[in-house]
Structure 1
Amino acid sequence: MLSLESLEYCKWQIPDGFHIRLNLLQEEDLELLHYWKSQIDISYLTSKAIEYISLEEQQQQFRQKRPSIFAIRRITDEQLLGQIRIYNINPKNRAVGIGYFTGANYRQLGYTKEALCLLINYLFKVVGLNKVMADTGAFNQASIALLKSLGFKQDGCLRQHQLLDGILHDQLLFSLLALEWEEDCRLSETKM
């Protein structure tokens, strides 16, 4: 079982990468994230129930409880590039779920992969977790490719689980074990 102290994500000091750093999302980041998400059909990104709330409601929720979301920032200018959310931390089974979102102008440039590498490495080597899980729609080829490039294996499929454009799509479940990461740590591949 993990120590409660190791799970206090507000105290995590994740080392910088080559191009990006991860730190806790700040309230001032919400406006840009809200703008980015308002420009796309967010149902493309998640199978979870979508609650459309205003920026003001998001800010109020943020003040009430700081969520476990890390901002992805470019080191050179501190530009917000996206976010990674951790959820369902299970200390008994040493597992966690992750979800990620990148602003449209910063996709497929290596930033999200580097951010995931940094977080996954920290989760395994410092926090002491054994498994990191993620899921994505079967239609989201970019996300599937990203997960596979990091060594994630497909564990399963929730059939007809995600509604998009009037069609129910499969939701693919992936995981990565600490042992697999130790065998094939990919931090060196993130250099652009």
Structure 2
Amino acid sequence: MDVVLDSISAEELVWLRSLEDKDGFDTMTCRPIRLRSREEKLKLYQSALDEPNTVILGLWTSDKKYLIGKLTASDWNPRNHSMEIGYYLCPEWRGKGYMRSALQTFCRMLFLDQGCNKIMAQTGAFNVSSIRLLESCGFRRDGVLRQHHEKDGILYDDFLYSLLADECIKPLESRE
């Protein structure tokens, strides 16, 4: 089954966040977690969806019957034309190549439609599946934030990754 990237509502983002929370989202981010009510989350997500320099798309089955994840790009830097990405895929859909395909499409869209030159990602050194995903999509490890990510009382390193437009677009165009 193919997947498509398409619009997503604040309600759908709240639903996905509830799945992320059950899935241990608080351990997969190094940023502080703030508990919010459903209404606060709706307001926050609607604000993010309305932000012109943020891109949030749902990852849907090709028939648009099931929402199975999301991809986000934010923190637009107009000086170097960069954005930071994040992603989430529901557990039952993992390991089938859906996120890899979606992330490649998403990055190409950010380069071609949003004018990005660089896309960045950050992940914990313990998050092997995220590291494999990024590297399989051509991201390069730029650096390490030492003891930056607390998980279960242990401080882990965080890895910084980036993908440049000319590393993504030209190789794809040369195959066409």
After TM superposition, is the score higher than 0.5? yes
Q: Which has the higher contact order (CA 8 A, sep 6+)?
A: 1
1:147 and 1:63 mapped to 2: Cα distance? Answer: 28
1:65 and 1:172 mapped to 2: Cα distance? Answer: 25
SS in 2 for 1:93: coil
**Which residue identity is paired with 1:21?**
V
Pair 1:150-2:133 in alignment? no
Residues 95 and 30 from structure 1, CA distance in 2 versus in 1: closer, same or farther, beyond 3 angstroms?
closer
Residues 125 and 63 from structure 1, CA distance in 2 versus in 1: closer, same or farther, beyond 3 angstroms?
closer
Q: Which sections of structure 2, spanning at least 5 residues, go unmatched?
A: none
Pair 1:96-2:83 in alignment? yes
Q: 1:110: how far off?
A: 1.3
2:95 and 2:3 mapped to 1: Cα distance? Answer: 14
**Which residue identity is paired with 2:8?**
L
Percent identity between matched residues is 35
Query: Hey, what does 2:73 align to over in structure 1?
Result: 86
Query: Hey, what does 1:166 align to over in structure 2?
Result: 153
Query: Hey, what does 1:19 align to over in structure 2?
Result: 2
TM-score (norm 1): 0.80
Query: Hey, what does 2:27 align to over in structure 1?
Result: 44
**Which residue identity is paired with 1:139?**
F
**Which residue identity is paired with 2:29?**
T
**Which residue identity is paired with 1:47?**
C
SS in 2 for 1:108: coil
**Which residue identity is paired with 1:71?**
G
TM-score (norm 2): 0.87
1:30 and 1:130 mapped to 2: Cα distance? Answer: 27
* Correspondent of 1:129 among 74, 94, 116: 116
Q: 1:180: how far off?
A: 1.1
Residues 36 and 158 from structure 1, CA distance in 2 versus in 1: closer, same or farther, beyond 3 angstroms?
same
Q: 1:66: how far off?
A: 2.5
**Which residue identity is paired with 1:143?**
S
Q: Which sections of structure 1, spanning at least 5 residues, go unmatched?
A: 1-17
1:65 and 1:35 mapped to 2: Cα distance? Answer: 17
**Which residue identity is paired with 1:152?**
F
Q: Is the 8 A contact 2:14 2:41 kept in 1?
A: no
